[in-house]
A and B are shown apart, each in its own frame.
Chain A
């Protein structure tokens, strides 16, 4: 029973041009526009908008952390799909690059674009921190 609980969810993490990760997981944590949401087995069907943030997938043998840039989270019948134009797994992220981007974004004049870039870079840095 316990082992079945461990793999209660079928998760697909999909970017526009590839499937980044897919497999069985016990829990998914993502940040929607309304706040953090954790999905366990038996969650009600849901379709929500994500912000630029990290997505954590807990699997029996550890977990996966990724940075997403907006997108959607859909949950239905223990099937979770996370869709985002761009998804980067923590191990794919160059931490130095992300930090440099964050600095560059802070230097920009105040605008929506600046906020967006800051959020993106921060999401990447956080993804790396969470993974390590």
Chain B
């Protein structure tokens, strides 16, 4: 018998309390996912209307805006990685970081240097630990991102994108790596190019009644198509970043729920196993005590019979 009964009991107790914690985290994550999905849904109309407006301008004017202009010889790319602030979410952060590394590999293969921008403490820690430079990091609210954060990220990225080549901090492309929320079970790390913008002239299938085959009306632009585009495109970029942050938040919570569920299941397994071993130990103890008593009685009886 390796351990005493008391030690097994202590193990069962600690596993039980751990199970309570993971179970609570699982429930919290589950309730927050619903909120995160609602937030994503609430943000959808803005994104939809912006997309509509952008494609309207793009369709009726000759789009030549600094934000859509391709650099002839791109040398530097900015990559924004959306990770979580906290761990205990399974492979969530590491898989999005892996995706980012894959993208980096590809970009380096094309001869581009990379400026890293990070959202979320986990990603920041990953880079700091490897002593790799980060241009800027945003941390603090990865599970409920605010639009202000997205707007700030957008402003910084657009600013560095608009710098001329050769200027300090200039980038020619901006990529975004985040985790797409497909369903409660499937979240996939995704890399997309944010800038230069590819303006889609026809509507993307947003799945609502306005997009299906509707011909865009002949808009009048005030003050001018260029000015409207000037106002629209940065908003469009920010709203896409916001969308990515919301998706990432929902994915993070889903990943955390899944991780915590399997931790709870594991704890159950462990408790079962330890209970069995503890029972065995208890039985062994009882058996030993009985055999000791019997042995003692026998010895006494032998001694007594020897005396007679």
Contacts and interface: CB of A to CB of B under 8 A. Distances in A.
A74 B53 contact: yes
A47 B225 CA distance: 9
Interface string A44-71: 1111110000000000000000000011
Nearest to B221: A47
Contacts of B52: 74
B53 A47 contact: yes
Contacts of A118: none
Interface centre among A12, A47, A76, A86 (most CB of B within 10 A): A47
A14 B223 CA distance: 21
Q: Majority SS of interface residues in chain B?
A: helix
A17 B148 CA distance: 10
A32 B231 CA distance: 12
B42 A17 contact: yes
Nearest to A87: B46
A33 B235 CA distance: 17
B115 to A, nearest CB: 26
Interface stretch (A77-85, A92-100, A102-110, A120-128): A77-85
A33 B39 CA distance: 31
A16 B223 contact: no
A49 B147 contact: no
A48 B222 contact: yes
A11 to B, nearest CB: 12
B118 interface: no
B109 interface: no
B103 interface: no
Nearest to B52: A74
A45 B53 contact: no
Contacts of A15: 46
B186 interface: no
B43 A16 contact: yes
B218 A45 contact: yes
A45 B217 contact: yes
A12 B231 CA distance: 19
A47 B147 contact: no
Interface residues of B, number: 31
Give the interface centre of A33, A44, A46, A83 by most chain B CB atoms within 10 Å. Answer: A83
B49 A83 contact: yes
A47 B219 contact: yes
A76 B50 contact: no
Interface in B201-245: 216-223, 227-228, 231-232, 235, 238-239, 242
Contacts of A49: 222-223, 227-228, 231
Contacts of A74: 49, 52-53, 56, 219
Interface string B254-298: 000000000000000000000000000000000000000000000
Given A49-B223, A74-B56, 16 more contacts: A12-B45, A14-B46, A15-B46, A16-B242, A17-B147, A19-B42, A19-B45, A46-B219, A47-B220, A49-B228, A70-B231, A74-B49, A76-B217, A83-B53, A85-B151, A86-B147
Q: Which 5 A-B pairs have the closest CB atoms?
A: A48-B222, A45-B217, A16-B147, A18-B42, A76-B217
13 contacts: A16-B150, A16-B242, A17-B42, A33-B227, A45-B217, A47-B53, A49-B223, A49-B228, A49-B231, A71-B235, A74-B52, A85-B151, A86-B147
Interface of B: 39, 42-43, 45-46, 49-50, 52-53, 56-57, 146-147, 150-151, 216-223, 227-228, 231-232, 235, 238-239, 242
